[in-house]
Structure 1
């Protein structure tokens, strides 16, 4: 007699996905944190990750307005030559001093942490699938 185990299979896969996402969040948090430049601790203090179980996705990052400029650089130093060229001047809000700058060099922290851990992420996913579902899994990560 046929026994429908599809609900059990779906639950096992979902449990594996959720456990993997949590483990990946912790891995990436610990990988990103030491790479964040520390002129102040604002970037480090805003580092966090969020898991969306309905999408089975994880987002990790920092919640500051200037984070993108640290990661990709500004002005003539910006990656992909997309920064303001020729420099600019501004007044420092704290000191009142007029400052001229050509921009800041990139200080990437998210991308290197990811690149250094792609294989670890795959391993976490495979281990959780084996633990919750069974053997014979191979994971690949596509850029998207």
Structure 2
């Protein structure tokens, strides 16, 4: 998923004039931590695995908030009949869990947690980045 900000080109153009890249990296780290904390609060509780897996990193002036869990996108976007952009329509389907028990499902409703965490903090992110640029 990629998010675009109005005025981002001007911000990127001004990066050439920044003497302190470390200051900008600190600002990016701060913004990632804001989104990471919000995503952890918004993620379904369940057994806590998804919440604990949400993390962030900053490399080469790029901040990323992510989870390495394979099932995380299914939670965010839903599955089957309930998937946001269309999913499996041949329902119900059966699957075996880790204990060998069979289940039947028509899908799972989406529970967005990453996108709202970013969207709800958009203004804060812009403010912190601008401060990091010395504006």
Calculate the TM-score normalised by the size of structure 2.
0.80
Q: Is the Cα–Cα contact under 8 Å of residues 76 and 102 in structure 1 kept in the other structure? A: yes
CA apart distance, 1:60:
0.5
Does residue 66 (structure 1) correspond to residue 84 (structure 2)? The answer is no
1:97 and 1:18 map into 2 onto residues whose CA distance is: 48
Cα displacement (A) at 1:26: 1.5
How far off its partner does 1:15 sit?
Answer: 3.1
* 1:16–1:93 CA distance, 2 compared to 1 (3 A): closer
Aligned Cα RMSD in Å?
Answer: 1.4
Match of 1:6 in 2: none
Which string of whole-angstrom CA distances, capped at 9 and with x for unpartnered residues, describes residues 59-82 of structure 1? 10111010010000000100111x
CA displacement, residues 31-78 of structure 1 (integer Å, 9 cap, x when unaligned)? 11100111111111111101112xx10110111010010000000100
Runs of 4+, deviation exceeding 6 Å? none
Residue 127, structure 1, aligned to residue 96, structure 2: no
Tell whether the 8 Å contact from 1:43 to 1:64 is kept in structure 2 after alignment.
yes
Distance in 1 (CA, whole Å) between partners of 2:109 and 2:79 is 7
The number of aligned residues is 118
Instruction: Say which one has the larger Rg.
Output: 1
Cα distance change on mapping 1:25 and 1:97 into 2, 3 Å: same
The answer to whether the Cα contact below 8 Å between 1:20 and 1:124 also exists between their aligned partners in 2 is yes
Q: Say yes or no: does 1:117 pair with 2:121.
A: yes
Q: Which residue of 2 aligns with 1:138?
A: none
- Secondary structure in 2 matching 1:80: coil
